[in-house]
A and B are shown apart, each in its own frame.
Chain A
């Protein structure tokens, strides 16, 4: 049979169309996994209630709590930031119970940041469509799943019908040639990509990351890359599954077992872009030329290599520099740091904590710097404890917290004070993102740890 060559995305799309799109309506697309958390779900559950609808597939729906939950406990009791956050978490519990949704509760094995636990539990598979009321759902694309963030109305659509209305997006190939140098990590790679294509470079597109560098990355690293696709405007980022993917998933709780595993893997091997298939657009980047990256402005595209100085800017960028209290021509290296945050769905997996610990081991956090380390999940925490990483952080003078989104979004009381400069392994340096008036510099776990030790923005390579 002579089939038209297809991209990986074409295959994911074709496999999920319940009704094809027409001039009059978008395609009805089937959703294989719906992830739910406390912030973007209560209004959707209320809509089901209002209309008297059932939740169609509780078996394809999994909930956890991550955004509003505290990372500190008093004698086992969560220390909520305020009454409203407690009410929101309670609403999730009640809703999951009422609609039969499996909920991973605070402190329970399996709980954690929604984009950390999906893969960890083996729920995220190649070839699936995965949605969540959270823009960083793009993370799961690292497994060759079509995964994207949706709003609360669409959360309700999926609850009621297990489907969404979608127009087929365009495809953008981002090919990464060669490999990353010493001290340069997946976070630096994605910041370099966003800098190159721009914060709206991926709008209307699904990105597929390809090339030698991507193939060499671990799953934790691939998730970091796909996680920030949305910061380039792309709702989804994809990486074709390979042996690294299969090795990660094998034997996980919800991964297929026995013969089903063999069948799944042989199916998953077909999930790659065919020779001769074409993307709507393609760009390429040479990984060997990327340095450790830091942001200097108020969007993730305003990023430079650690040895560069802040470029000339105009218009809105000037306002961003003013907010950040930075000037054109300044070096980032040497700027005093108040807070270091190591966590978030971008960089709170075991690889990330290991990297940060490798820098902090045998060293001390600089005087006056507050360092918060927040594992992405109970499972990451368990593995980190088993390796003694918590001791490394605590001995260095960092705080070691319970899993959650924490200071990435600052909804739970873990916030950066107004005017303070935070070096953060999270994904957004928007004005006030980490607390009203907070100033954020995005960086890798290696760079964040180096900044913690020196109390200044630093090139981690000088400590290696």
Chain B
């Protein structure tokens, strides 16, 4: 996993609330047996619309997706973060992000950033004014807008550590082998 310490990027704003994982990656693309190449199908149905935000040339190369409340609700498919990362995103920003998606995202080097309503509104306004380069600093857990406004966001401590160092969580659990064996011996 690629470490993530700071991220400076323009944003892509998808202001819809309750964007579900079926939109992020429709089920017909889940018949794959690998995790590669899913970026091509990211928001596949919405991208059919030429005016969809990801089809606009100015959003090309943006690494931060900003979406409405309750982002990535629905299914547990990890294909959703795989597709976002494969497309080029390193962070998603919303006022609320679904639990399973959050868990999946951090394991793939994709940072879920939950901001307050005020910060969210300011990002959306900055984006519509075309002045939307934001800085996300995972060490200080802050997101800063071009006008200097800064919002803090929570990140689970261990996930933060793993993202900063680019560490795999499985190695941590594998080191608990003795404790797991001990636990099993009492069952």
Contact = CB atoms under 8 A, between A and B. Distances in A.
Nearest to B158: A25
A24 B159 CA distance: 9
B169 A165 contact: yes
Interface stretch (A38-46, A260-268, A334-342): A38-46
Interface string B147-175: 00000000011100100000001101110
A199 B73 contact: yes
Contacts of A154: 103-104, 107
Given A43-B33, A43-B34, A411-B31, A163 B176 contact: yes
Nearest to A148: B100
Nearest to B45: A432
B75 A135 contact: yes
A436 B69 contact: no
Contacts of A46: 33-34
Given A134-B76, A432-B45, A18 B183 contact: yes
Contacts of A51: 170
A26 B78 CA distance: 21
A18 B176 contact: yes
Given A161-B176, A163-B176, A410-B28, A436 B99 contact: no
Contacts of A316: 15-18, 68
B22 A433 contact: yes
A163 B96 contact: no
B157 A24 contact: yes
Interface string A138-168: 0000000000011111101100111111010
Interface residues of A, number: 63
A355 interface: no
B129 interface: no
B70 A28 contact: no
A164 B76 CA distance: 15
Max chain A Cβ within 10 angstroms of own Cβ: one of B27, B170, B172: B27
A200 B33 contact: no
Interface string B1-45: 000000000000001111010110011101111110000000001
A315 interface: yes
Contact of A84 (B26, B31, B169, B170): B31
B158 A24 contact: yes
B180 interface: yes
B74 interface: yes
Contact of B107 (A82, A149, A151, A162): A151
Given A149-B76, A235-B99, A299-B73, A84 B32 contact: yes
A164 B169 CA distance: 10
Given A39-B30, A151-B77, A151-B78, 5 more contacts: A42-B33, A160-B170, A200-B73, A432-B45, A433-B22
A409 interface: yes
Contact of B26 (A230, A233, A235, A432): A432
A19 interface: yes
A29 to B, nearest CB: 10
A85 to B, nearest CB: 5
Contact of A82 (B30, B31, B172): B31
A149 B100 contact: yes
B98 A203 contact: yes
Contact of B73 (A133, A167, A233, A436): A233
Contacts of A24: 157-158, 161
Contacts of A454: none
A334 B114 CA distance: 42
Name which of B28, B68, B157 has the most chain A CB atoms within 10 A of its CB.
B28
A151 B179 CA distance: 24
Closest 8 CB pairs of A and B: A151-B104, A151-B78, A149-B76, A42-B33, A200-B70, A84-B31, A316-B17, A135-B76
15 contacts: A24-B158, A30-B183, A42-B33, A43-B78, A135-B100, A150-B103, A151-B81, A151-B100, A151-B107, A153-B104, A154-B104, A200-B18, A200-B69, A203-B98, A428-B22
Contacts of A58: none
A319 interface: yes
A50 B142 CA distance: 36
Contact of A432 (B17, B22, B68): B22
B141 interface: no
Given A23-B157, A28-B180, A165-B158, A40 B78 contact: yes
B42 to A, nearest CB: 14
